[in-house]
Amino acid sequence: MSVPTFSPDLKLDQLDDFMSKARAASALLKALSHETRLLMLCILSRGEKTVGEIEAILGLQQAVVSQQLARLRGEHLVRTRRDGRMIYYRIADPALNELVSVLYKMYCEPGEKAHAADDAREDA
């Protein structure tokens, strides 16, 4: 992955585009910065789930799960599907699934990669 080069002769429209994308990335990272929301996205990266299923997996109260799902919906990170009285949640953007997968590999997957992420944090 290449990082763009910023130079003094950067055109205004290019800078505006970078700034717009940086704002979007910042908003996404803020939504991901809450551990419960991040756990929910990890769960949803494996497939859609109901509030009850998420409650059972995380051992949290329904009110907490619903509040965090509302935040994720507000950020357009999850979508819903109704089937009778059941509402199923899923990740809205496949690219977010990829990001959650990378975070899982960095921090949760057993083995060398997870330990390398721990080592990198300790070195910082």
pLDDT digits (tens, 9 = 90+) for 56-109: 999 999 999 999 999 999 999 999 999 999 999 999 999 999 999 898 888 887
Element (H, E) at 49: strand 49-50
Q: Among candidates 51, 43, 58, which has minimal Cα distance to 88?
A: 51
Domains of the chain: 34-123 (1.10.10.10)
pTM for this entry: 0.76
Query: Percent of the chain, pLDDT > 90?
Result: 57
pLDDT, averaged across the chain: 85
